[in-house]
Structure formats: C-alpha cells, structure tokens
Structure 1
Amino acid sequence: MRIRSAVAVVSLATAVSASIVPAAAGAADGAAAGPTTFTHVVVNGGKDIVLGPTTRRTVTLTWTATDPEGVAKTWAHLWHGPNTDDADGHLPHYPPAGTCTVSPADPATSTCTLSFEVDAARDLHRNSLAGTWNVLTEAQDTTDDWTDVDVAATAKIKRNAKVTVNASPEPVRKGRTISVTGKLTRADWETGAYAGYRGQSVKLQFRKKGSSTYTTVKTITSGSGGTLRTTVKATKDGYFRYVFAGTGTTGPSTAAGDFVDVR
C-alpha cells in the first residue's frame, strides 16, 4: 500500500475513473486520518474468466473504498505481470467510467461497480497472458491524499478448452471391445483458433441408460495434437464422455455423452 499527496500523482492512463459524490469527512477532530482501505474486491462475481480465441465478454469489477476523511474519487483496473512497472497487460485498455454509491449508514464508505468488455482478439494477444491477474485499486480522499494498493485481489483469465468423444462400434455385442476416441483442444489467442492440447489428464466417464449419474471408468493422457483414445468392454447400454478438469491457465470442458447400444 502506498499513500501520496495529489501533487505527486503519476499518470492514471491505465486506471479507471469512477464518478462519485464526495463523502463527508469521517475523522473526528484531533484524530489521525488513515489511508483508504479497499475491501470486497471481486472480479466477475468470483468466477474465472474463460475466453475462446475471439470471445467478447462483459466483466464486472466491484470494490468498497473506505477513508476516515471521506472518499472523493476511486479507481480500479486489472493488470498482469511480475509487477506494476513491468506489467504486460492491462484491463480495460480504454477505461469507461464506473459508478460509486456512498453508504447512507457510513459516509466514509463508497461501494463501486465497473463493467467493461474483454475482447480476446484485441486484449489477449499472447497465450502467456493466461493465468492470474491482479486488481490495482486507488483512491483520492477529500483532503487530496492518495492511496493505492497494487494487489487488492486477484482473478483468473483462462483459455477456453473443448473436448469431443466418439464411442464405436455402435451397436456392439456385449463383451466386445468399444473404442472411445476424441480430442482435447484449447484456444490459441495468438492464432485466433483452437489447437491440440497434449499431455493432459482426461477422465473417461460412463452413464448407463436410465441413470442420471456418470462414473469415472479410467483416466488417460491426451496425445499428440490432443488426441484421446482408449478401449473398454461393452457391458450395458449407456453414454460415454470425456471430462477435462482444466488447469491454472485453461478452463474445464465436458463432452456431450455418446450413446452405445449394447446387444
């Protein structure tokens, strides 16, 4: 956390200006004023932001700013990289205005909301941008002191994944071998397409006809180009599917079940 006077403020070109009605000074006479504190900082409702090669999605960022002197203005944005000086990504790129509401019960507290669009093709031009992003928050109080926190919260931005399945032959006699094939791919933000994802654990699951529950049969590893291939014995009518749990940089995916008629 850093506190600075208004005359020392650097450019806020990557910050988000929020329109806000200044709160009344909250510090009692003679009391020492403290820095602005930021709480309830949440990105996308706490859910991962999972994007395909050309996905456009509106993301909401919310936070609460509290200052004993009252909050005059507050900003927030997402950044990616080792530190703010060497950040290789900022969201949003073209900051829209957010909105803040002063708490009727506590004039020193303001609750803020910012919605902005993330365009994978425009904003995420390198696959290395997948993973953990940080939320920088900043505020100006009514006495022109500034507080900023480089990492007030974190959020995950991930590459979308797809998995397919095909069980054959169909129909098949009981006791015969069923070949279950498929493919695991994920978004390549650099090429604007999907590419095979090899070396990943994928579960083969089965749901018998008339049931609503899938059970895991085995776990396999995706091969070259993301190929999936294994065999099982035919025992009863039902559905086979592949399930990919996801990683720290790639979202999960579940294939639609493929029905096999066992005779």
Structure 2
Amino acid sequence: MRIRATVAAVSGALALSALAVPAAQADDTAASYRADVAKVRQAALAASDRAPAAEGKPYALNVSFSNFKIAKAVKVGTTNHVSTTVTYTLTHGEDVKITAADFITDPVIYRGSATAPDNMLYGNKPAKCTATSATTANCKGTIDVYPGDHELVNTDAGTWRAAAEATAFNGQNPGGETFDITKVGYKSQSGLGTTLMQRSSKLTVNAAPEPVKKGKTITVTGKLSRANWDRGTYNGYVGQPVKLQFRKKNSNTYTTVKTIKTDATGNLKTTVKATQDGYFRYTFAGTTTTPAATAAGDFVDVQ
C-alpha cells in the first residue's frame, strides 16, 4: 500500500511531523495533523475487526458527508505537484463542535478497498468548512499529488474512489502520555464519488518538406507519449489511434484527413499530397488512463 509515511506507523504528531509530508511540501502544522489523523484512522480500522466493545478505538462521530464534488479527471505528470480542489457538505450532530481547533475533516481518494486500499491520496492541509446551519457546513479541501516522490505507479492510472473523514480530538493529544483514543471521535464515509487519475500526455507533429510544390508528397511525423510514473519519464504510447487533421491557411476549422496508429515506440508517420497552404496537426482522443492531446498546427507553404 503506497500511502504517505503517516499511514504506515504513527506514535505522536511531534515525533512524526517530518515523516507526514516532505518538508519542502508542507509546514509542520500540516504535517503533524496528518500523523494524528492517521493514528486515529488506524485504530478505527483495526477495531472494525474486533468486538463492538473492544478497547482502544475512537467512538463513532455523529457526522455524514454528501454533495462530494471532485474533478472528473486529474492529469499528473512525472515531477510537478498537482493539487485538485474538492468540495462537500458536512452534516453533524449538535454535539459535534466543528469550529473547535482540534476538529479536522478532509477528502480522500483511494484505489482498491476502502478498508484496505492499494493506494491513498489526500490533501496537505485539512479542509476548511463554513457553517450553513447549526448542523451543516460547506467544506473545501484538496487532493495533493507528488509524482516525483513516487506516490503513483503506472497501474494506478484509471478510476479512483472518493471518501471523506472527520476527527474530533476533543482536547486529546495523540503525542501525549495520557492520550485516550476512546475520547476521540472519528468517522469515515466511502463511496462518495470517483475521479480518473491520468498519466499526462504529449503529442508532437512535423510536416515536411516546407515549402513544397503542389502535388508533391508531404510526410507528417510526430510522437504520442505519456508520463511513466514507474520511471519518472515520458515514454511512447503504443498502438493508439491518432487523427491527422488539416486546416486551410485562412480557415479556423480543422478537418480529419485520416486516422493512423502509433508504432511500437509511440511514433507517427504518414504521407499526404500537397494541395494548398495550411496547417497539419495530430490529435488524440484520450483513454481512461491518459488524457486527450492535440499538437499545435505545423504550417506548410505549397507553391
């Protein structure tokens, strides 16, 4: 399970603040909150397999989540941090003080089972909530992704499920000697929605020769590549249908000339007859794992 260090083992916020999120990515406050929540989450998940009266687990917090909204797709490259905004409605009992300094809620996305995920992503900081009534609030958080830190592998591309969680620490300090987890409230709700985690794509085009005499052959080459999260590079996307399109010099509209497939290294190559001045481009419709891409038009002067 490739989840940030806080989920693997936690023994207090202060001790693990450096492990929660790389120092360059978040401040100590953001790091320590993640360690604290991870400790409570682990206890709640472990207790789910034990008798209801089992000791050492948080109590069920009286909250629920709805109206969860996240981008349809999240495009992730090989190095740059990607942050996606998430909004949702939090409904809570009157006994739950969401304005307390140690009340925390945040969105989560995961692969696999909600109770035993293959991978899990969340935000660097807790969501911010604005009360809309005595028992409801609109919350806004983020999902933060750091592909350069190997948070994703190629098999992670595709559909991820969404969840949200809330923790009321009620004055309990997870790093303190007297920490009593039974006085901490926790609730996690899965199945709130889905999003596509996609390997960013690139598409190039080159039409030659230029200029060219009318009636002669133009060779149009290019390459379709996508992020390889395993290696941290971009590699050719093999066997994918790509459209070659043409736009007349004084037109704003592209029309499809033909569709060809990328070869064993993601390269594209085809030929057309030179008829008039204009722009050639390749365009890729995208797949579940890879977003659409369109190359900038390459102008050919036909003489």
Shorter-chain TM-score: which interval? 0.7 to 0.9
Question: Per residue, is there more helix in 1 or in 2?
Answer: 2
In structure 2, what is the Cα distance between the partners aligned to 1:127 and 1:58?
Answer: 19
Whether the 8 Å CA contact 2:108–2:164 is kept in 1: the answer is no
Q: How many residues align?
A: 231
Whether the 8 Å CA contact 1:76–1:135 is kept in 2: the answer is no
The answer to whether the aligner puts 1:137 opposite 2:164 as a matched pair is yes
In structure 2, what is the Cα distance between the partners aligned to 1:233 and 1:14?
Answer: 66
Match for residue 219 of structure 1?
259
Gaps of at least 5 residues in structure 1 are 1-10, 17-34
Match for residue 301 of structure 2?
261
Which of 90, 105, 108 in structure 2 is aligned with 1:75? Answer: 105
Match for residue 108 of structure 1?
135
Deviation at 1:67, TM superposition (A): 3.6
Runs ≥4 residues deviating over 4 A: 68-71, 139-142, 144-147
Cα RMSD for the two superposed structures? 2.7
In structure 2, what is the Cα distance between the partners aligned to 1:47 and 1:168?
Answer: 38
CA offsets 1:58-105 (integer angstroms, 9 cap, x no match): 22221111245465456333333220233121112x7522211111xx
Match for residue 250 of structure 1?
290
Match for residue 177 of structure 1?
217
Report the TM-score, using the length of structure 1 for normalisation: 0.78
Which of 74, 84, 88 in structure 2 is aligned with 1:59? Answer: 84
* One-letter amino acid of the structure 1 residue matched with residue 274 of structure 2: A
Which of 241, 245, 248 in structure 2 is aligned with 1:208? Answer: 248
The 3 A distance-change label for structure 1 pair 213 and 251 is same
* One-letter amino acid of the structure 2 residue matched with residue 221 of structure 1: K
Report the TM-score, using the length of structure 2 for normalisation: 0.69
- Tell me the percent identity: 44
Question: Per residue, is there more strand in 1 or in 2?
Answer: 1
What secondary structure is seen at the aligned counterpart in 2 of 1:225? coil
Deviation at 1:110, TM superposition (A): 0.7
The answer to whether the aligner puts 1:163 opposite 2:203 as a matched pair is yes
The 3 A distance-change label for structure 1 pair 60 and 71 is farther
* One-letter amino acid of the structure 2 residue matched with residue 102 of structure 1: A
Structure with bigger RCO (C-alpha 8 Å, 6+ apart): 1
Deviation at 1:113, TM superposition (A): 1.1
The 3 A distance-change label for structure 1 pair 15 and 228 is farther
Whether the 8 Å CA contact 2:159–2:195 is kept in 1: the answer is yes
